[in-house]
Structure 1
Amino acid sequence: MSVYDAVEIESLHGGPADLAQYRGKAVLVVNVASKCGLTPQYAGLERLHAQYAARGFTVLGVPCNQFMGQEPGTSDEIAEFCSATYGVTFPLTEKVDVNGEARHPLYGNLVDTADAEGHSGDIRWNFEKFVIDASGSVVARFSPQTEPDAPEVITAIEAHLPK
């Protein structure tokens, strides 16, 4: 089943984010936070987005405040921080829960995928990454500590760019 089927999520600025717009593209979905030790990964995510956007790729940032309250801001504060600090141009969704009873359905579709070490299930921390192929299938998962420009992430993205 495609992660785009029957999954509704709001954009950071309000209104539907319309995940169906990503059909036919490769997407890197990342739960993000502004006050985390891994927050500098925003720079690498923006570089990936810029490098591959013309080839049918996007990063989709999903703010989450479940890990030690490291994304406490409002939508406007998150957007301003990302733009001013890291020049983020990739789309961001509303702030959601990625674990627990209130887990957003998008993450309900992602967490069953295992990473290279065999971890599946709950998101471990901010900046866990999922590669979605052009049909909406989850094809790879990477730990929060894996940098956006790590060879294994680049390989997964390039393997799933639309032809």
Structure 2
Amino acid sequence: VALSLSQTVPVTGAVVVTTPQAVSLSDSRRAVGMYRKLNVPTLGIVENMSYYSCSGCGQESDLFGRGGGERVAEELGVPFLGQIPLYAPIRVGGDTGAPIVTAEPESPAGRAFLHIAERAAAQVSIQSFQPPRPAAPAPPPAMAAGPSPVRG
């Protein structure tokens, strides 16, 4: 989907979201590579589920590792936008239509989302002053309808 959209819709930039787990970090590297081939700037990398934040006591635990998103951003030369904790009220807010930034703006999760939004907005502003990028290559034409030959 990201490839198709990037080839057919004007895109200011991409925000790549990862988790600290190795398989997700690998996917993130490939995503940044794809966007580079399409001349779509990567506005930054966000690390989701960076740590568990207990909504009762506030204690933090690294369940999936920590810091992988920041390391990949540095490795690839793209901005690191921030870390989002694994925090139950984020899901509750998503289910009820009350985003964490309005329901609990002073919580670690609320502050994380606001920080990431500010950094992403700054990157969009920076991109608006960059010279225009060449157009991405057109998607390949659709294959003709009909049965595909099968070789045995």
TM over 0.5: no
TM-score, with structure 1 as normaliser: 0.33
Specify the structure having the higher radius of gyration (Cα): 2
